[in-house]
Amino acid sequence: MDSILERPHLIAYFAGTIFPFTCFFSYVLALALNHIGLWITYISDASTDPPVSGVFGMLLTYSMIAFLASTYVRKKLVECACEERPEIATSKVRLANHVSGWLALTSVICLIFVAHFQVHTTMFLHGTMAFIGIGLGVLYCFLQVICTRAMIPYYTAPYLFYLRLTFTIISAFAFVFGVLSGLLSVSKFKGDALHRWAPDDGGYVEHAISSVCEWILALVYAGYMLSFAHEFKNIRIGSMKVVLVRSAEHEVKNGPNRIEDI
Which of residues 7 and 63 earns the better pLDDT score?
63
Closest CA to 232 of 141, 146, 143, 160: 160
* 176, pLDDT greater than 70: yes
Q: What is the mean pLDDT of residues 202-222?
A: 92
pLDDT tier at 262 (50, 70, 90 boundaries)? very low
Domain-wise residue ranges, the chain: 2-261
User: How far is 174 from 214, CA to CA, in rounded Å?
Assistant: 7
Return the pLDDT at 147: 97
Instruction: Report pLDDT digits (tens) over 113-126.
Output: 998 887 767 888 88
pLDDT score at 47? 78
- Pairwise CA distance, residues 93 & 38, whole Å: 46
- Is the pLDDT at 259 greater than 50? The verdict is no
Q: Is pLDDT at 248 greater than 70 in this prediction?
A: no
* Predicted pLDDT at 82: 93
Q: Helices (H), strands (E): how many in the chain?
A: 9, 2
